[in-house]
């Protein structure tokens, strides 16, 4: 591995002094005496892109990460200069380029330094492969902290870590083990209560060093390609994350059933076993929306085939499961079995769609089916061809979602467990070797899958899940963290990884609840479910070799407790769905780590157990065995204990009781939480009444609720409702206004409103500005609840 020190020894090359610069629209190109060029593009007022070419030759400008539909544009672009510097000034940042060495520094408009080059851009020539090792180093300020980088299984705050990106099938990985399944070369820096982001859009193996090698230096480098990165200014972490997510894209809204509880195992077969599983869920009254078929459903692991002994009539089975409220999700791997009787192999061969080695032979590798070839998903024609194969699986058989695995790509029994580096790829016409295409192979497979599922599931919405990905892959698929282990450490990792993925643009993520390898105790399983119901993707999955992992397997107590938490998830579906809407529309992560929630409170900078779920819930999992509670940090503000409504003032650490049937959950004061009745699966019942839980606040607080048809595309034509609730609480009264934006007509008729923490007894009320009797609004003084029409516009309750 090339490190900073090694590079220095081998002879780094640096830009020399600037000789000229030229503006071309939104880009300014600087040239140094020794021929280095730097193009700085003003992508937005708060986002600059920097690209370097060492001898004035830029590569074709192509990126898989950038969303073509992102918003562009800036309002100010001024350039000023003096003897020492050239300044690029936008409405939100000033970028200073030093004439003598081409180094850059970023400031906010008040002139506060945000980030500056240390050595800045430098490179080493790569004689072995051609091109350069491209490097960047930045000065780090005392007290600066770092976050992001996708699925890294390490402490949430990355300060002091050195990490790299090379998608790897890492069975039973552990804490601090690098690399894992995804490459997300994006991080956030935070100092002086201001945050910025760096997105290093380079698909080669990339490296990041956060003050690990040198105390006050952060650096990032790649084994090839261009030094091509985006500087994203906050100043809030939330701004950095939403801008990065807007740049690299977010998914379409998933169908609501995808937010339900999912059950998987390697593998459920034959049909009788799947049916028994389904019956067990319903008999145990344990909500579940999706069942998964792992690789054994196929005929000899050939993609797009069925083992007819196990599943003689897949279409019928899938239909019967669906009648019972279960969606069937099936796995598809990238390896195509070398078998002359297998049409997909023959067709792909004929069309020349499989990856080849540098000298011409096919890339062959062993995976589950035995010796395989692999479609080159970086070729747009191959992606289309692959997408079409979903016609039968989705369009005819009725599978509702596809799970892509092994797409790092993983290959068995070879060093490095992946393709050799000489393998050739199309890279959408920018032909290259596996060194460059490795990290985006999985994302492009997921993209092809997404296109296929989307096409054949229409007019419903697609659901896909992938193991490997790259920045921007969130546009095409949800994800999980791969082959974890049934251990308490992995429960901690699960919490950290999903929060980290969330601020790295990938909100729709979850873990194998209970652990993939090894078997959890009932206690670990329970604690993991408690965390898992607050993850955007909620699936129990296990390897199958280590015993059973269905909720009833661990006995009555565990079944009852886990059911209670899964029921809570189902009650919170409208709340979670709203958070998904905010993610898919406004780029807002579904989980917000504490530092995201309140970056000005330095107490949050090193915390990672606690997080905010959606807008209003504070969650803190129990991550240790044999405990009756834990210490946790309550961020600033007033919070209601979800279980008993006691109110506490945050900004401090405290002990919270949490015996096995409980966990620390708090609700922000002023929040209005929508809740469905418990269902066994999404849309089991027509919902005519929802609950609104109103948490009193002396002051103002807004809450929102998004509703649509739960599936399909009508919402894209405006057929949805976006309800805004404005609460104003005073010592003796509470006022709630509802504004409904949209044209969706649901089955909803009434709202049952329950007040929490009301400091007065309700004496009189007005609804829609008219006096009403408490009786007429169904006032229940024991529960402090009333019932209103769903379209009420305002409610005023007055106490004594």
Token pair recorded at residue 399: 């599978």
Q: Which among 751, 741, 761, 759 is positioned nearest to 688, based on CA atoms? A: 751
Provide the minimum distance between the beta carbon of 518 and ligand MIG in the complex, in angstroms, as a whole number.
14
Q: Is 670 in a helix, a strand, or coil?
A: coil
Q: Is 565 in a helix, a strand, or coil?
A: helix
Q: Which of 223, 271, 483, 567 is catalytic?
A: 483
Q: Per residue, what are the HEC states of 443-472?
A: HHHHHHHHHHHHHHHCCCCCCEEECCEECC
Provide the minimum distance between the beta carbon of 310 and ligand MIG in the complex, in angstroms, as a whole number.
15
Provide the minimum distance between the beta carbon of 171 and ligand MIG in the complex, in angstroms, as a whole number.
7
CA atoms within 13 A on the CB side of 641: 15
Distance CA 302, CA 339 (A): 9
Distance CA 131, CA 71 (A): 32
Q: Which is nearer to ligand MIG, 117 or 405 (CB)?
A: 405
Q: Which is nearer to ligand MIG, 95 or 367 (CB)?
A: 367
Provide the minimum distance between the beta carbon of 123 and ligand MIG in the complex, in angstroms, as a whole number.
37
Distance CA 137, CA 118 (A): 5
Among residues 405, 451, 610, 711, which is the contact residue for ligand MIG, using CB under 6 A? 405
Q: What would the x/- binding string for ligand MIG be over residues 317 to 336, using CB under 6 A?
A: --------------x-----
Q: Which of 223, 405, 550, 609 is catalytic?
A: 405
DSSP class of 394: I
Q: Which is nearer to ligand MIG, 294 or 610 (CB)?
A: 294
Query: Closest residue to ligand MIG, Cβ-based?
Result: 266
Q: Which is nearer to ligand MIG, 182 or 461 (CB)?
A: 182
Q: Residue 693 forms beta bridges with which residues?
A: 673, 754
Q: What DSSP assignment string belongs to 190-249?
A: EETTEEEEEEE---S-EEEEESSSSTTEEEEEESSS-EEEEEEE-SSHHHHHHHHHHHH-
Known catalytic residue: 483?
A: yes
Q: Which is nearer to ligand MIG, 482 or 664 (CB)?
A: 482
In terms of Cβ atoms closer than 10 Å to its own Cβ (0-12, 13-18, 19+), residue 475 is buried
Q: What would the x/- binding string for ligand MIG be over residues 135 to 174, using CB under 6 A?
A: ----------------------------------------
Sheet order of strands, 762-767 included: 699-707, 721-729, 733-742, 794-799, 762-767, 770-772
Q: Which among 332, 325, 379, 316 is positioned nearest to 352, based on CA atoms? A: 379
Q: Is 347 in a helix, a strand, or coil?
A: helix
Q: Which of 408, 609, 610, 669 is catalytic?
A: 408
Token pair recorded at residue 653: 């650490």
Provide the minimum distance between the beta carbon of 405 and ligand MIG in the complex, in angstroms, as a whole number.
5
Provide the minimum distance between the beta carbon of 770 and ligand MIG in the complex, in angstroms, as a whole number.
58
The reply on whether position 295 binds ligand MIG by CB under 6 A is yes
Q: Which is nearer to ligand MIG, 294 or 426 (CB)?
A: 294
Angle among Cα 377, 378, 382 to the nearest 5 degrees reads: 50
Among residues 15, 197, 325, 482, which is the contact residue for ligand MIG, using CB under 6 A? 482
Among residues 266, 713, 722, 735, which is the contact residue for ligand MIG, using CB under 6 A? 266
Q: Which is nearer to ligand MIG, 403 or 706 (CB)?
A: 403
Sheet order of strands, 785-789 included: 672-675, 689-695, 750-756, 785-789
Q: Which is nearer to ligand MIG, 451 or 512 (CB)?
A: 512
Provide the minimum distance between the beta carbon of 99 and ligand MIG in the complex, in angstroms, as a whole number.
52
What residues from 503 to 532 belong to the interface with ligand MIG (CB under 6 A)? Answer: 516
Q: What would the x/- binding string for ligand MIG be over residues 363 to 402, using CB under 6 A?
A: ----------------------------------------
Q: Which is nearer to ligand MIG, 74 or 266 (CB)?
A: 266
Phi, psi of 344 (to 5 degrees): -65, -40
Number of chain residues interacting with ligand MIG (CB under 6 A): 11
Provide the minimum distance between the beta carbon of 179 and ligand MIG in the complex, in angstroms, as a whole number.
15
Provide the minimum distance between the beta carbon of 295 and ligand MIG in the complex, in angstroms, as a whole number.
4
Among residues 108, 226, 294, 609, which is the contact residue for ligand MIG, using CB under 6 A? 294
Catalytic residues: 405, 408, 483
In the complex, which residues of this chain contact ligand MIG (CB under 6 A)? Answer: 266, 294-295, 331, 405-406, 467, 482-483, 516, 541
């Amino acid at each position: 591995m090339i490190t900073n020190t090694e590079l220095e020894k081998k002879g780094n090359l640096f830009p020399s002094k600037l000789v000229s610069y030229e503006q071309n629209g939104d880009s300014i190109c600087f040239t140094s005496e020794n021929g280095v060029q730097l193009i700085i593009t003003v992508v937005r007022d708060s986002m600059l892109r920097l690209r370097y070419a060492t001898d004035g030759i830029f590569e074709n400008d192509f990126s898989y990460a950038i969303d073509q539909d992102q918003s562009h544009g800036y309002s100010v672009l001024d350039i000023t200069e003096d003897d020492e510097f050239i300044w690029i000034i936008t409405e939100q940042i000033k970028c200073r380029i030093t004439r003598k060495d081409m180094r850059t520094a970023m400031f906010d408009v008040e002139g506060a330094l945000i980030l500056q080059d240390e050595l800045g851009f430098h490179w080493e020539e790569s004689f072995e492969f051609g091109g350069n090792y491209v490097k960047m180093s930045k000065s780090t300020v005392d007290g600066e902290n770092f976050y992001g980088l996708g699925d890294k299984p390490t402490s949430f705050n990355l300060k002091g870590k050195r990490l790299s990106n090379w998608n790897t099938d890492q069975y039973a990985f552990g804490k601090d083990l690098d690399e894992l399944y995804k490459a997300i070369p994006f991080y956030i820096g935070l100092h002086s209560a201001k945050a910025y982001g760096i997105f290093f859009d380079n698909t080669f193996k990339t490296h990041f060093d956060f003050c690990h090698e040198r105390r006050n230096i952060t650096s990032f480098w790649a084994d090839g390609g261009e030094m091509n990165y985006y500087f994203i200014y906050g100043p809030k972490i939330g701004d950095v994350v939403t801008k990065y997510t807007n740049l690299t894209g977010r998914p379409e809204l998933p169908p609501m059933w995808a937010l339900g509880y999912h059950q998987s195992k390697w593998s459920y077969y034959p049909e009788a076993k799947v049916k028994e599983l389904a019956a067990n869920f319903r008999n145990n009254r344990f909500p579940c929306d999706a069942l998964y078929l792992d690789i054994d459903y196929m005929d000899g692991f050939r993609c797009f085939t069925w083992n007819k002994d196990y599943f003689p009539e897949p279409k019928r089975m899938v239909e019967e499961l669906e009648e019972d409220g279960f969606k069937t999700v099936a796995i598809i791997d990238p390896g195509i079995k070398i078998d002359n009787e297998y049409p997909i192999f023959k067709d792909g061969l004929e069309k020349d769609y499989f990856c080849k080695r540098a000298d011409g032979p096919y890339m062959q590798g062993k995976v589950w089916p035995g010796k395989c070839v692999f479609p080159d998903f970086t070729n747009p024609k191959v992606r289309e061809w692959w997408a079409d194969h979903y016609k039968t699986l989705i369009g005819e058989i009725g599978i509702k979602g596809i799970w892509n695995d092994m797409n790092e790509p993983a290959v068995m029994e070879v060093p490095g467990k992946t393709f050799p580096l000489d393998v050739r790829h199309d890279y959408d016409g920018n032909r290259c070797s596996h060194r460059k295409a490795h990290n985006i192979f999985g994302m492009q497979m997921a993209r092809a899958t997404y296109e296929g599922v989307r096409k054949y599931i229409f007019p419903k919405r697609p659901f896909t899940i992938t193991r490997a990905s790259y920045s921007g892959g969130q546009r095409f698929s949800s994800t999980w963290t791969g082959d974890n282990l049934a251990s308490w450490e992995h429960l901690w990792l699960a919490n950290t990884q999903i929060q980290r993925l969330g601020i790295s643009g990938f909100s729709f993520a979850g873990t194998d609840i209970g652990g993939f390898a090894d078997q959890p105790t009932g206690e670990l399983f329970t604690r993991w479910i408690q965390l898992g119901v607050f993850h955007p993707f909620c699936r129990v999955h296990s390897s199958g070799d280590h015993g059973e992992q269905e909720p009833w397997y661990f006995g009555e107590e565990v079944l009852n407790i886990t059911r209670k938490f899964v029921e809570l998830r189902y009650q919170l579906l409208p709340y979670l769905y709203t958070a998904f809407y905010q993610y898919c529309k406004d780029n807002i992560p579904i989980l917000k780590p504490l530092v995201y929630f309140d970056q000005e409170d330095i107490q949050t900078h090193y915390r990672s157990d606690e997080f905010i779920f959606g807008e209003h819930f504070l969650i803190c999992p129990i991550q240790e065995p044999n405990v009756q509670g834990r210490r946790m940090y309550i961020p600033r503000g007033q919070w209601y204990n979800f279980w008993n409504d006691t109110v506490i003032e945050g900004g401090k650490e405290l002990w919270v009781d949490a015996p096995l049937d409980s966990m620390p959950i708090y609700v922000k004061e002023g929040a209005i939480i929508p809740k469905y009745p418990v269902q066994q699966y999404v849309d089991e019942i027509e919902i005519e009444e929802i609950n609104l839980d109103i948490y009193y606040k002396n002051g103002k607080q807004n809450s929102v609720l998004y509703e649509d048809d739960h599936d399909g595309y009508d919402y894209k034509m405006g057929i949805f409702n976006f309800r805004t609730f404005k609460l104003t609480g005073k010592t003796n009264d509470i006022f709630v206004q509802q504004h409904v934006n949209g044209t969706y007509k649901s089955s909803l008729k009434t709202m049952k409103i329950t007040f929490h923490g009301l400091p007065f007894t309700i004496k009189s009320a007005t609804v829609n500005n008219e006096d009403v009797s408490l009786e007429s609004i169904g006032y229940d003084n024991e529960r402090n609840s009333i019932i209103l029409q769903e379209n009420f516009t305002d409610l005023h309750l007055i106490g004594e």
